[in-house]
Structure 1
Amino acid sequence: MKIIGLTGSIGMGKSTTAAMFREAGIPVYDADAEVHKAYDVGGAAVEPVGAAFPGVVKDGKVDREELRKRVLGNPEALKVLNGIVHPIVGRARAAVFEEAEKAGADMVVLDVPLIFETGGEKNMHKVIVVSAPAEMQRARVLAREGMTPERLDAILAQQTPDAEKRARADYVVDTGQGLDAARAQVTKIIEDLRRT
């Protein structure tokens, strides 16, 4: 079974692209969704994150905005947070692999925003980068509720630049040309992965 990494900077259309793989019958593991689940009421990360970062748990769940303020630009705090969250999402990822193997899947897509930043590409057979023109990316992200140019710049500063991601990718899905064009690119990639 091939392990395919799917990544892309904020606002590039990665979630939409992941959905296209799902629609094509490919199992997809979504790291962000697992983190959201771990932070929600009853989630496995709530208690340990609350202990490590007092005051970030509100109404039984992790206040992501408050947590973001604590770790953004603070490498030590981010290291502590990753030490809590990575094992939790790792268990969820293992469960997806197990289900995919039982179903006889020939590949699994791992939707992981920070593949290159964490060295995760070494664990993938191939890496797909989702990209779009920079002005389109900014417009998409700044349209999100609560997003500011300063916050976007802080997030981008933590991510590998898009040009570098594209250069390191085995495949690139350009979402700047619309959904139909992106879907056609995904179909071609799946065909190519099955040929090789």
Structure 2
Amino acid sequence: MLQIIPALLVAITVVIQCLAVQMSLYRLSRMNARPPHHGLALMSGMLAAAAIILRLYQNDSAVGVLFMTIMTGCMTLMTLTDAASCRLPRPFTIMYLISGSAFRLWQGDWLTGLCSAGFWFLLLLLFRQYTSYRRKTETIGLGDVFLIAGIAIWSPPGDIPWIVATAAGGALLYLWCNRQRRITRELPFGPFLCASQYAFTFYPGGLW
């Protein structure tokens, strides 16, 4: 019976990834936005499967890995939607926050996760308000603020600055590599944040 659990968790991961892609496509159709490239969905699914298999190989608990399948589904959902529309719908980020809260409650350190998420949410909200007032333009979207708060509740407090900094570095590198092309729309930050969290997920101790 125990030998079936890893295969079952991988199967659940595949199902959740497929549901995330379908939910993203449905939301984008409601927003009249073009769907993202198929390669992005495939890459997100492969990263999710690799992360789950790695955790299973490290003999992590089945409940913890199950929570991770939910986390990767939320990340795929937000990555695809933000990449195509430059928008992070509030229901997606709230779902990410709620599932992260349940994960921390299962771990027994719900208060730590809540304080970390609250700190980053308030800090980035104040930064957003200040820079919007000074520059008369939005420097970071409210959806990204909610997403970073979600990352803060899922990840150890010490990793959050590195995750955000890595995402910002990835976005700057993307802009530098495409400096010859004229980018006609704003750059979505959500995919870079999710990719950065994936990178730290592969690092031992990146979630628990």
TM-score by length of 1: 0.31
Q: Which has the higher contact order (CA 8 A, sep 6+)?
A: 1
Higher strand share: 1
